[in-house]
Amino acid sequence: MKVLKQKLIWIVPITMAFAFFSLLFYQGAESVSNQPSNDWSRGIEIGESNSKTLPNLYKTEDGNYQMAIFNDGTLTKKTFSKNFTLQNESTMEIPFTKWDPYYAYNDTLIYQLDDEIIHHDSGDVLAKADSMYVNEEDIYYIQETTLFSLDPNSLETKELGNLPEGYEEYKITNHNDILTVIADSTVANKLNFTMFQLKNGDLKKVQEQSINVPANESIVEVAYAATDKRLGLAMKSFVESAGKDPYRLYVSEFQSSDDSISPRLISPIDPNTGSRLNEIGEVTASYLNDQLSLVFYGIGFSKVDYQTNYAPNIYELNVVDDENITAKRRSNTYRFSTKPKLVNDHMVMWLDTNIPNTLYVSSSKPQVIEQASGYTKTDMLLALGVTMSMLTKAFPFLILAMKWMVWPLIFFVLLFLFYRKSIDQDYNWVLYSAIGVYLLGAFIQSGTIFTQKLNATAPAYIAFPGNSIVLILVAGLIAYGCMQFIHRSTSSGYKVVYFVFVHILVLSLTVGPYVF
């Protein structure tokens, strides 16, 4: 029993250290695996790609999902069940690069290489084209200024009409079989665009506009969505000398017959904090259920980064009016989330920047929420990385806390100089006085550790009013309890050193990770 008690002197602190490590690991695992919201699933990893372009996700007749992912000169076709369990996977070598557009659905693969559109199986050149556009199950291409459609089943081409010259880019959308083409260009704070729609087999111009933002801003992104009668757009601008967040977001929705357009400035709100989302970008627009919806990345509240509580994630905003601008978070991943796409009213797809980039989907469907729940291998690795990072941050705390040891050291020096008998006789009051002096020094110097940053980033059981006093005392009680395993005949000096060691160990594993 005596031997066991002696061993407990170190067994108990080591066990406590392991328990605190496990707590940090659990907190990290919970943080990286949280759902973006209660009614929306975590991201399900569906593939990796060295391309920054999202592949099309097709829903098959039996309710499954199909996609083809480009990666290092190969194309991987995948079929997923309704809850995104992988059912089938096959890989083929391809001659085109990640910069070339392609259509891959069922057994058909069509791609553009240089100025030719090629059918992969036959190797036939289907058309000459300057640019090719894949819009879900439709293929369009432009040759000089003429727009054509290409049927991926019959491989027949059809001329749709002529487009104007002098524009930087063409964007093509198809909503309820209504084809809309937008030709646009931006110069500093001015956007020029012309809108065409295919009606009765003819490509007709339905709108032409110029939109300005304030002179100190430059338009850097434009996204469009269209129905047969309405057009919605979102513009991101860069503001010169705007400080921390130099970006602004404008939206506008109008009829095709409107003469003038007045975009309005909006600031999407973080649903978790009620404050503005920062650095919004990669905006895409679409009409779902007759309502303009935007998806974008933005920096908002997230617990995946324990130091800042902020991370870049994917958000969705249904544009109703100026009063309803609270976004909905659709991702909660550790890396930078970008290139979002609203697949339908219950599903979002995006990629996380990495080498290679990781493709994700998330959804409000109950079966997908269930499938995405729990911990993945990636979650465990990330949680371990977060835990080790937190422990690394605890080392500077040890340096700060060492200053507390000066107080009992001065106490013993004074006793040695003026009342040496108390040390030689090892009176009980020497031990308790030294511990009291140490705790007094800890209270006095606690302001260097229990800072505003700690209170802003630490969990609730650490960040609360009066936490410095409570936590120093609780750690002291734990250290005192461990000190009872030391034999009574042991000197007070040794006991004080042990008390200080355990006390600082407890605080370094609980408070230390949040100090810096």
**In 3D, which of 150, 160, 98, 159 has the Cα closest to residue 124?**
150
Tens-digit pLDDT profile for residues 278-335: 888 899 998 888 888 999 999 888 877 666 678 889 999 988 766 668 899 999 887 8
Query: Does residue 35 sit in helix, strand or coil?
Result: coil
Q: Band of the pLDDT at 425, cuts 50, 70, 90?
A: low
Q: Residues, the chain, total?
A: 516
Query: Does pLDDT of 177 surpass 90?
Result: no
Q: CA–CA separation, 456 vs 329, rounded Å?
A: 22
* 174: Cβ contacts below 8 Å, ≥ 6 apart: 135, 136, 138, 180
* pLDDT of amino acid 78: 93
Among 106-120, 395-409, 421-435, 448-462, the minimum mean pLDDT is found in: 421-435
For range 227-252, the mean pLDDT: 83
Bridge partners of 90? 77
Q: CA–CA separation, 260 vs 164, rounded Å?
A: 21
* pLDDT of amino acid 315: 94
* pLDDT of amino acid 361: 93
Q: CA–CA separation, 75 vs 86, rounded Å?
A: 16
For range 240-256, the mean pLDDT: 80
* pLDDT of amino acid 213: 86
Q: What strand order describes the sheet that includes 157-162?
A: 131-135, 138-143, 146-150, 157-162
Q: CA–CA separation, 160 vs 149, rounded Å?
A: 7
If one compares 379 and 317, the residue with the highest pLDDT of the two is: 317
* 431: Cβ contacts below 8 Å, ≥ 6 apart: 492, 495, 496
* pLDDT of amino acid 256: 66
If one compares 243 and 389, the residue with the highest pLDDT of the two is: 389
Average pLDDT of the chain?
Answer: 84
Predicted model pTM: 0.81
Query: Does pLDDT of 171 surpass 90?
Result: no
* pLDDT of amino acid 122: 87
